[in-house]
Amino acid sequence: MTEQWSAPTVDGPVHATVPVPGSKSITNRALVLAALADRPSTVHAPLRSRDTLLMAAALRSLGIGVEDGPDGSWLVAPGTMRGPARVDCGLAGTVMRFLPPAAALAVGDVSFDGDEHARVRPMTTILDALRALGADVEGDALPFTLHGKGGVPGGEVTVDASASSQFVSGLLLSAARYEGGVTVRHSGRPVPSLPHIEMTVSMLREAGVEVDDSTRDVWRVAPGPVAALDRHVEPDLSNATPFLAAAAVTGGSVTIPGWPARTTQPGGAARELFERMGCAVELTAGGLTLTGPDRLTGIDVDLRDESELTPTVAALAALADGPTRIRGVAHIRGHETDRIAALAAEINRLGGDAEETEDGLVITPRPLRGGVWRAYADHRMATAGAIVGLVVGGVAVDDIGSTTKTIPDFPGMWSAMLGAR
C-alpha cells in the first residue's frame, strides 16, 4: 500500500547527528555466504528492512536457520537446502539475483516471484548463465522455478552484465559450492557499479574462498568450502546520503557516526561528490560530518560506479547554482523503475528543467514549486523527493512507504533529524 507524505520544509540550517542502519548490500551478501558456510555464523548489526527480511525469510523457506540474536544480530545455521519452497523477492534485486544460484544447490523445486514491478526487471542474463552451468531453470523472468538436484556442475560462462553488476555478484557468491567452481566472463558494454563486485570478491576472500580477478572482466572462483564468520555490517553509506544532503541544501551540518575510513560500498564516493558541489566534508573518529555551503555548485559527473547515488545528486542539482550533467547511468533505467525518466519527470513536474540523455540527465536549476513527487515504488526516488521538500514548500511524496525497502523508518529518522536542529 502507498502512503502519501507531506515532506517537511525547514526555514533554517539542519544540524544533527544521524545514526544510519547497516548496509543492505553487505547484509544480504553476508546472509547468502553464511547459508553456504561450513558451520554457523553470526551477522552483527544487520540491516532489518524489507529487502533483508525477504532474504532471511527466503533462506528459512529453504531450511536454513536464521534466528534473532540477543543483540539484534542474526544467527545463521547452514544446512542442506530443500524444496519445495516459494521465494518472495519483493522488489529486491539482491534476492532475485543472489539467491537463485544458491537455490540451484537445493534438493527439490524452488519457485521465485515478486512485486509487479519486479516482473519486468532483467533476469535472463543470470537464468541463462545458471542453465549454462548445469542448473535446471524453468522461465526467463519472474516468476520462474529452479528444479534443484542437490548440486550444480559449474564451469565457465560468458554473460553480458552491462545491465547490472548483480548478475556477476550473484554467480560469484555461490560459485565455491559448485562442483567445478565457476569462471564468469563479461562481454559487452562496461559493467556498472564495479565497487559492488569488489565488495563481493572481498567478502568471499574473507570467508576463505579463492577468487582470481586479475584479468579484467573475468572472475574465477575455485571450488571449496565457505568459512563461517562473525561479520559486522557497516552503516549503509548510500542510505546516509539523503541525510547528508539535508545539510547540503540548508547550509547546515550533519554527522553520520561509524562512517568507515575504507569501504567497498559505492556510497563511499559521496564524500567527493558533496565536496565537488561545494560542501565541506570531514572524517573523524566520531564519523563523517558534512557542512553545507551558501549555494551548491552544479557539476559534470560520471556515476557509472556509484549509480545508486543518482537520485540524491539529481535532487541536489535541481537546487544548485548552475547546470549539472550526470553521465554513465543508462543501466538505472532497469532498476526499481526507470530512474532517469522518473527523475526527469518529477523535477519537471515541480517546475524544474531536467532533460534525459542516452546515459543520464542534464539538470538546469529553475525555481521549484510544490506538488506531488511520485516515487514509482522506488525507495531512492522517495528520498530524493524528501530532499527537495526541505527547501520547497508543499512537496508531497506519494509513496513514502517504499523507503522500507532499505530504511526501516525513514519518516521517523527524517523527523528526528529535523527535530534536532
Q: What is the pLDDT of residues 197-243, one digit of tens each?
A: 999 999 999 999 999 999 999 999 999 999 999 999 999 999 999 99
With 80 as the cut, is the pLDDT of residue 1 above it?
no
Cell numbers for 389: 521538500
Instruction: Tell me the pLDDT tens digit for each residue of 39-93.
Output: 999 999 999 999 999 999 999 999 999 999 989 999 999 999 999 999 999 999 9
Topology given in CATH for the domain delimited by 24-145+152-224:
UDP-n-acetylglucosamine1-carboxyvinyl-transferase; Chain (3.65.10)
Q: Which of 306, 308, 336, 346 is catalytic?
A: 308
Q: Is 382 left (phi over 0), alpha (psi -120 to 50) or beta?
A: alpha
What residues does 76 pair with on adjacent strands?
41, 66
**Residue 59 near residue 97, CB atoms below 8 Å:** no
Q: In what order do the strands lie in the sheet with 395-397?
A: 5-6, 395-397, 371-373
Q: How many whole angstroms separate alpha carbon 334 and alpha carbon 274?
A: 26
Residue 185 annotated as lining a ligand binding site = no
Residue 380 annotated as lining a ligand binding site = yes
Residue 65 annotated as lining a ligand binding site = no
Rounded (10°) CA dihedral 104, 105, 110, 116: -40
Tell the residue number behind the cell numbers 534476492, with chain if given. Answer: 95
With 90 as the cut, is the pLDDT of residue 135 above it?
yes
> What SS3 state is found at 262?
coil
With 60 as the cut, is the pLDDT of residue 387 above it?
yes
Residue 149 annotated as lining a ligand binding site = no
Tell the residue number behind the cell numbers 536454513, with chain if given. Answer: 64
Query: What average pLDDT does the segment 125-152 reach?
Result: 97
pTM of the shown model: 0.89
DSSP code at position 170: H
Residue 25 annotated as lining a ligand binding site = yes
For the chain, give every residue range classified as CATH 3.65.10.10.
Answer: 5-20+235-419, 24-145+152-224
Note the pLDDT of residue 2.
63
Query: What average pLDDT does the segment 370-375 reach?
Result: 97
Note the pLDDT of residue 80.
95
Sorting pLDDT into bands at 50, 70 and 90, what band is 334?
confident
DSSP code at position 403: G
Instruction: Tell me the pLDDT tens digit for each residue of 105-132.
Output: 999 999 999 999 899 988 999 999 999 9
Query: What is the biggest distance separating any 2 CA atoms in the chain, rounded to whole angstroms?
Result: 62
Sorting pLDDT into bands at 50, 70 and 90, what band is 420?
low
Cell numbers for 288: 563523517
Among this protein's residues, is 308 annotated catalytic? Answer: yes
With 70 as the cut, is the pLDDT of residue 421 above it?
no
Query: What average pLDDT does the segment 288-309 reach?
Result: 96
Residue 117 annotated as lining a ligand binding site = no
Residue 349 annotated as lining a ligand binding site = no
With 60 as the cut, is the pLDDT of residue 35 above it?
yes
The identity of residue 314, as a single letter, is: A
Q: How many whole angstroms separate alpha carbon 45 and alpha carbon 235?
A: 9
Q: How many whole angstroms separate alpha carbon 100 and alpha carbon 23?
A: 21
Query: What average pLDDT does the segment 388-398 reach?
Result: 97
At the top level of CATH, the class of 5-20+235-419 is alpha beta
Note the pLDDT of residue 335.
76
